[in-house]
Amino acid sequence: MTQTIDTYPHYAAAYAAQADEELPTLRRLRTRGWDAFQNLGLPTARRGNEPWKYTNAAPIAREVFAFGHDLRAADVGLTLADLRAAAPWRDDWRTLVMVDGVFAPALSDGIAAAQSGGLTIAPLPDALDAGGAVLGSLAAPEDDGFTALNTAFMRDGAVISIPAGADAGVVNVVYLTTGREQPRVTYPRTLIDAAANSRATVIETFVGPDDVRYLTNAVTEVKVGEGASVEHYRLLTEGMDAYHVGVSRVLQHKDSAFSSVSIARGAALGRNDFGVKLAGTGAECTLNGLYLTKGSQHIDNYINIDHAEPYGTSRMFYKGILDGRSRAVFGGNVTVRKDAQKTDAQQTDKNLLLSEYAEVDSKPSLLIYADDVKCGHGATAGHIDADTVFYMRSRGLDLSTASRILIHAFASEIIDTVALEPLREYLDEQFQSAIPDANLSLSFGGRQ
């Protein structure tokens, strides 16, 4: 135990320096998180550590991050225009903005704790009545060192609590890191608690400046009640020097539906650890994702679906476009437990390698303990198909247009699954403005 503290003295110092928390729920959670961290440390050991087989967390563990307690968002001088440039934004969405881990009321819109009918969309400290019971129950700090740290330093975040039968509309949560006081760490925390037969659409955007080293250690918990339906989007657009470790845990009850699209393009070292448990019969889950890497980026998607009850349906579909010397990791697990008969699960990972120095490590696994199931998975990796390019050129398209069309088509298969139309348009526009060039000589005879 003491060894862990010796290894991470800066975390111990930051924990000791935290002001005494007045809210008992937060105080209890922080203690629990810190106790867990002392046992766990960070997952830096690689040998025999399957979840971190292809990603080295050591650079994150080595870095000493500042954890500002006193910064107020108002001091930053960010305007609405800055926000709209950094993240998707619309008038008719409710928007919650955290700047450097702290709620920024001036940039937020349409939020309230316990509105009429019991709907809560509020920053975390104001919403502990609504969310306190669920916090820490889905993403247990005891499971993972990063979650433990997030819990130990929990301060602010977004709570979206939807009463039975209600519709929360679209909630846009933006976690923005500025370049102040670096290297800095923030601990965003999002909680979505959708009661029976309720509906919600939630966008989480993580964004920050390039050329600044910082860490975002985010935890999201989503409880989808019986018959409820939650649509979730996760946009990872951190700066190109940033570290991001995000842990999302979803618990689905009977006949609930959860769909998520995760787009990862930012962060020097980014990890999206997404876990869904189908804990009621007839639950449906769709997890789609697109990862775009370039330069020396390293993006790791670690996606788990756990079928614990019968008649569940899940679809996992991730695609990657890799350029430069970047590396992408896909670790997908679908577990079907003994009782989860009649499960229908599909898992797919497809990769497009644009550069001869890019690397993809894909590990799509199925763990099946029930017999009456329909499960399958597939994975591919390759370059742009030379025959297709030839076909397009024979119809008068130049090489670069042909490659742009093909790469766009590859990505569209994921972007098109975004049901929220304004967001889909936003993402498509963003993608089109930054389509990487394919080194097409690779299609024709390999590297020279």
Q: Which residues bind another protein (CB under 8 A)?
A: 48, 50, 338, 341, 351, 353-383, 439, 442-443, 446-447
Residue 381 Cβ, how far from another protein at the closest point, in Å?
4
Q: Which is nearer to another protein, 6 or 371 (CB)?
A: 371
CA dist list (Å): 163 to 195, 321, 422: 5, 40, 26
Residue located via tokens 């209890």: 28
Distance, in Å, from the CA atom of 58 to the CA atom of 42, rounded to the nearest integer, reads 8
- Comparing CB distances to another protein, the nearer of 385 and 429 is 385
Q: C-beta of 373: minimal distance to another protein in Å?
A: 6
Nearer to another protein, 196 or 370 (CB): 370
Minimal distance, residue 310 CB to another protein, in Å = 11
Rounded to a whole number of angstroms, the minimum distance from the CB of residue 300 to another protein is 14
The secondary structure element, H or E, covering residue 34 is helix 24-40
Closest approach of Cβ 361 to another protein, in Å?
A: 5
Picking from 290, 292, 434, 281, the residue whose alpha carbon sits closest to that of residue 343 is: 281
Q: How far is the CB of 306 from another protein (least distance, A)?
A: 14
Which segments within 19-75 are labelled E, that is strand? none
Nearer to another protein, 31 or 44 (CB): 44
What is the nearest approach in angstroms of another protein to the Cβ of residue 52? 12
Q: Which of 174, 400, 135, 139 is nearest to 250 (CA)?
A: 139
Count CB-CB contacts under 10 A for residue 110: 16
Q: Which is nearer to another protein, 54 or 431 (CB)?
A: 54
Give the C-alpha separation, 203 to 348, whole Å. Answer: 23
For residues 356 and 325, the answer to whether their CB atoms sit within 8 Å is: no
Nearest to 11 by CA among 61, 45, 57, 58: 61
Which C-beta is closer to another protein: that of 240 or that of 370?
370
In the bound state with another protein, the residue whose beta carbon lies nearer, of 137 and 365, is: 365
Which CB, 187 or 318, lies closer to another protein?
Answer: 318
Q: Is 338 helix (H, G, I), strand (E, B) or coil?
A: coil
Identify the three-state secondary structure at position 273. Answer: strand
Among 339, 331, 272, 330, smallest CA distance to 307 is for: 339
> How far apart, in whole angstroms, are the C-alpha atoms of residue 153 and residue 156?
9
- What is the closest distance, in whole angstroms, from the C-beta atom of residue 349 to another protein in the complex? 8
Distance between CA atoms of 69 and 78, rounded to whole angstroms? 19
Shortest reach from residue 423's CB to another protein, in Å: 31
Q: Rg (Cα) of the chain, in Å, rounded?
A: 22
Q: Phi and psi for 401 in degrees, rounded to 5?
A: -65, -45
Nearer to another protein, 161 or 313 (CB): 313
Q: What is the DSSP string of 369-408?
A: --SS-EEEEEEEEE---HHHHHHHHHTT--HHHHHHHHHH
Nearest distance, CB of residue 255 and another protein, angstroms: 23
Nearer to another protein, 230 or 352 (CB): 352
